[in-house]
Amino acid sequence: MSERVTMPALGESVTEGTVTRWLKSVGDSVEVDEPLLEVSTDKVDTEIPSPVAGTLQEILVEEDETVEVGADLAVIGDGDAPASSDSDEGGADDSADEQAESPAASEDAAGTQEQQAEAEEEATAPSTAEDEPAKKPQAETASTDEGQKVQMPALGESVTEGTVTRWLKAEGDEVEVDEPLLEVSTDKVDTEIPSPVAGTLTSILVQEDETVEVGADLAVIGGSGGGSASAEEPQQEAPKEEAPKQEAPKEQPAQETQESASSEDTDDSAQKDESLPEDGEGGDVADQPAGQSAPSTGGESAATQQAPASGSSTSAPASGDSAPQDASKYVTPLVRKLAADNGIDLADVQGSGVGGRIRKEDVLEAARAKNAPAEQPSAPAAQAPAAQAPASSSTPPRGMESSVSPSKRGTREKMTRLRKVIAQRMVESLQVSAQLTTVVEVDMTKIARVRARTKADFERREGTKLSFLPFIALATAEALKQHPVVNSSVEGEEIVYHGSENLSIAVDTERGLLTPVVKNAGDLNVAGLARAIADVAERTRANKITPDDLSGGTFTITNTGSRGALFDTPILNQPQVAMLGTGAIVKRPVVVTDADGGETIAVRSMMYLALSYDHRVVDGADAARFLGTVKARLEEGSFEA
């Protein structure tokens, strides 16, 4: 039985994709979710994983061919490759023989899987003309006499340029296929650029902090090896090294998932139970079990966060003799930054991740162990005030970590590209629109009771934690349908009333504030919103978010309450005309009117909702009516979770 691999939809407006490179050849065995090929669109470059385990029987779309979404790319079966595949491969060998005599051609004719894998590895890496195998035509089109050029990819539909923020390799370093080579920042995403081939980084053409256009040459990678003797040894050992190389892409997404889950657990433990979930100053929006991971089709190269790490020239491991040592070299930028901020030497940290990889949790544990003696004297003094005020849920937890390391005191650093973009857009927003804020107070007691009663069952059923934010998001989406002026935007001298409720959710990341979008939020229930918010928040923190995920929002929700703030006055996310800020939920005495009209004083869970809006379009009465609708829906408390 065979399974067809089709071109997936890689973005809302993406209708086609180009096959840039096949990572497997006909006859190779593949595992479930193992990277099969690389695809490029006008928005993103990514890997396509295999949907099933089996043998790659047929490749239907060749490299550099463009096909529509849904088109068949390959056939994977559970048996041996058909005879037609052998003949096709033989034709490729003949073509290679016409260009250059290749020792690998006769080996390919033998048809063994190990020899095919070796031929594929040699085809991917530029080498001498004597050693180039069947896939050399593809390498010729993208290479020069010096070697393979690495170019600035298109990282989004409207992205025309990018800034090199950090080189992860130095000239003379050895690199493997898909090993992160440099970090690039645009006005939409920060990401790593992987090496398209294996070899030696011979030349860096664009220095750090330089901005170049899409398609510009960034570096040159030449063939590895310094002499004939050294060149022969890797060629002979290639079949042995192939296995670990194929396993690496599968281990990396698993590690990223564990790191993401570890990060979320840490965030969750740092706040009160009644704090709202994550937003721009983030709490636990993305809290969920490690089993619910974000899509990992992008592999290691797509799962990076901007972080200053050592520009080490350590070459990539060439063999799997020591798994923990090799794994430690693949430390993510997030972990490297965390270790640097806390003064932790990664060589002294024992990794608990897959293959001995070092996770964020391992670094945090090492930091706690390092600082434990200094913290002990202050512990008794901290216990007394805690005992005196146990009900102060609005007070931020003691020792809350800052987004900027204390080691930065007395220093100066250049703004990151993302911080420059945020600064520019915030100032522009205040210049473009007439902004003001209206605030109401909401009794969240009924919602708190619903959440307390159902959150355990909800987490088991849905695989994500139930916070207050999905209830607020649902009430907001319903109110936007009743008050379309709040869900509008200004284009020239026209007001555009949007036909759907696309909620931008502010997410606090180490790189800065980002607003991924939950599309068609008005069509979702509490469970659907909880899953969607957790998904976009997790992928945003892990830097797996795409430009499509950050665009198309019609209304924004931002929550500073998760860090104890009662309310704020948000700056609008242009071109939107309104943004809702959610404050901390605080238990305090309030006057309550009973059914008979009597008044009593009771302890209730109270929250402030602050709506910033554009007075060019939205009047104060419109804002008050919208907030009144949201308030009534929340205080009613009739939600199914």
For helices 469-482 and 526-541, give the axis angle rounded to 10 degrees: 110
| Strand, helix or coil for residue 194 | strand
Instruction: Provide CB contacts within 8 A for 389, sequence distance 6+.
Output: 395
In a 13 Å sphere around the CA of 582, the CA atoms on its Cβ side amount to 32
72 is catalytic: no
Taking only Cα atoms into account, the Rg of the chain, rounded to an integer number of angstroms, comes to 27
d(CA 35, CA 296): 10
| Strand, helix or coil for residue 218 | strand
Tokens representing 594?
């009973």
d(CA 149, CA 165): 19
Query: Which one is catalytic: 72, 94, 273, 619?
Result: 619
- Looking at residue 32, the DSSP 8-state letter turns out to be T
**Which of 56, 48, 63 is closest to 9 using CA atoms?**
48
For 91, other C-beta atoms within 10 Å of its C-beta total 11
Report whether 542 contacts 258 (CB < 8 A). no
Q: List Cα–Cα distances, 637 to 258, 447, 566, 634, in angstroms.
A: 35, 5, 21, 5
Tokens representing 159?
């992205």
145 is catalytic: no
d(CA 581, CA 423): 19
Report whether 282 contacts 562 (CB < 8 A). yes
Report whether 586 contacts 394 (CB < 8 A). yes
Q: Which amino acid is at 280?
A: G
d(CA 500, CA 522): 7
d(CA 43, CA 41): 5
What are the residues facing 75 on neighbouring strands?
A: 4, 58
d(CA 578, CA 557): 9
d(CA 203, CA 149): 9
In a 13 Å sphere around the CA of 468, the CA atoms on its Cβ side amount to 33
- Looking at residue 61, the DSSP 8-state letter turns out to be S
Tokens representing 222?
């030449």
Residues in the chain: 641
Report whether 476 contacts 580 (CB < 8 A). yes
Spacing of C-alpha 502 from chain mean position: 20
d(CA 7, CA 4): 10
What are the residues facing 599 on neighbouring strands?
A: 593
Query: Which one is catalytic: 86, 88, 217, 615?
Result: 615
Q: Known catalytic residues? A: 615, 619
